Amino acid sequence: MFETKILGRDDKSVEYAAELLKRGEVVGIPTETVYGLGANAFDENAVRKIFEAKGRPADNPLIVHISELSQIEELVTEIPRLAISCAEKFWAGPLTMIMPKSPRIPMATSGGLDTVGIRMPSDETARKIISACGFPIAAPSANLSGSPSPTSAQHVFNDMNGRIPAIVDGGYCCVGVESTVISFEGRDGIRLLRPGFISVEDLKEVTENVLIDKGVLAMLDENAAVSSPGMKYKHYAPKAEITLIEGNSEQFRNFVKENGNDKTTLMIFEDSDSAGLDFSAVCYGKTSEEQAHKLFDVLRELDNMGAHQVYARCPAKNGVGLAVYNRLLRAAAFRVIKL
């Protein structure tokens, strides 16, 4: 087996990464959300290598990343009016917009759909790599399919060593959860397919008419026809059995006192949530932004600790909290106890 190279983010490394991508290779790239597994979005063979490296089902579409607004024109057949307002307000940034795809995008990239998800990342290294390539980069999260998304180059290395030639190390991802995914309905409607750092409240500044897709909060059947295919797959699954405990800090402590055993680990906001309790505990942050930033690292840490059974304090469901809740709900296989 060969060893995957970890590159820096200096100009030479960016140039080398672009060389690999031009040759049809797959490279791990940093973005502000999570690390991506990038390949030339126009090159069917290169894109197939992404699916292979991840073990990703072929019907789960990739997001196409651009570095300049003008690139969008050859990717879509139509730009909805609201997409322009959203691009002005939220790009470059963690928002993916679904639009009707042009024939330039191979079906392999769009998972067989006639639409394509497009995003312009704000991460400078990501933008430099895309610019140096001169073509858009298709990239899903750089984890093995089903594992928590990677928020550091080391996470990518742990999952992808020997599967891809190189990873560009851009440091720890500042947002920490994948992009918000939206599609457009009629003249002035937005449908939220996957919550992210750009919140429902943010989107409502563009239009009042924001609908939350049922896949955001509900368990979907693997055979169901869904608007955001990624949502139906088992996701972010750590080895431990996680249960979300919905209640305040005191209720949480009382619940753990009564129900915890020697196999229990706690996933809490801050130390005071486990005050007076004798259980190993991992903090994932007090604010929704902090929780988004740390969530996937903490899920990987729980695996490294060998945690068996985890009681997690349930995040807020508004603002960025909805994104954290959506991911944690899946990591917990939808097990929630309301106190």
- In the complex, the residues that contact ligand AMP under the rule CB under 6 A are 60-61, 63, 98, 110, 113, 115-117, 140-141, 178, 181, 193-194, 227-231
Q: Please state the φ and ψ torsions of residue 243, each to the nearest 5 degrees.
A: -125, 130
Q: How far is the CB of 36 from ligand AMP (least distance, A)?
A: 7
Q: How far is the CB of 305 from ligand AMP (least distance, A)?
A: 25
**Nearest to ligand AMP of 59, 88 (CB atom):** 59
DSSP label of 116:
E
> And the tokens for 334?
């939808």
The item of Mg ion, ligand AMP, none sharing an interface with residue 229, based on CB under 5 to 8 Å by kind, is: ligand AMP
The item of ligand AMP, Mg ion, none sharing an interface with residue 228, based on CB under 5 to 8 Å by kind, is: ligand AMP
User: What is the number of alpha carbons within 13 Å of residue 112 lying toward its C-beta?
Assistant: 7
Residue nearest to ligand AMP (CB): 230
Region binding Mg ion by CB under 5 A among candidate stretches 111-119, 137-145, 201-209, 213-221:
137-145
Region binding Mg ion by CB under 5 A among candidate stretches 136-144, 191-199, 215-223, 318-326:
136-144
**Nearest to ligand AMP of 75, 332 (CB atom):** 75
Q: Which residues contact 112 (CB under 8 A, 6 or more apart)?
A: 58, 59, 61
Please, are residues 329 and 213 in contact by the beta-carbon 8 Å criterion? no
**Nearest to ligand AMP of 18, 116 (CB atom):** 116
Residues 31 and 29: their CA atoms lie apart, in Å, by 7
> And the tokens for 161?
């060593």
The item of Mg ion, ligand AMP, none sharing an interface with residue 113, based on CB under 5 to 8 Å by kind, is: ligand AMP
The item of ligand AMP, Mg ion, none sharing an interface with residue 231, based on CB under 5 to 8 Å by kind, is: ligand AMP
256 alpha carbon, distance to own chain's centre = 30
**Nearest to ligand AMP of 110, 264 (CB atom):** 110
The item of ligand AMP, Mg ion, none sharing an interface with residue 109, based on CB under 5 to 8 Å by kind, is: none
Q: How far is the CB of 217 from ligand AMP (least distance, A)?
A: 15
Give the Cβ contact number of residue 206 at 10 Å.
Answer: 18
Q: Which residues contact 290 (CB under 8 A, 6 or more apart)?
A: 284
* Residue 179 near Mg ion by CB under 5 A: no
Q: What is the torsion angle, in degrees rounded to the nearest 10, for the CA atoms of residue 208, residue 213, residue 216 and residue 219?
A: 160
CB environment 60-72: b (16+ within 10 A), e (fewer) = bbbbbbbbeeebb
At residue 183, the 3 state secondary structure works out as: strand
Q: How far is the CB of 206 from ligand AMP (least distance, A)?
A: 19
Residues 142 and 189: their CA atoms lie apart, in Å, by 31
> And the tokens for 160?
């992808």
* Residue 141 near Mg ion by CB under 5 A: yes
The item of ligand AMP, Mg ion, none sharing an interface with residue 63, based on CB under 5 to 8 Å by kind, is: ligand AMP
**Which stretches of the chain bind Mg ion, using CB under 5 A?**
141
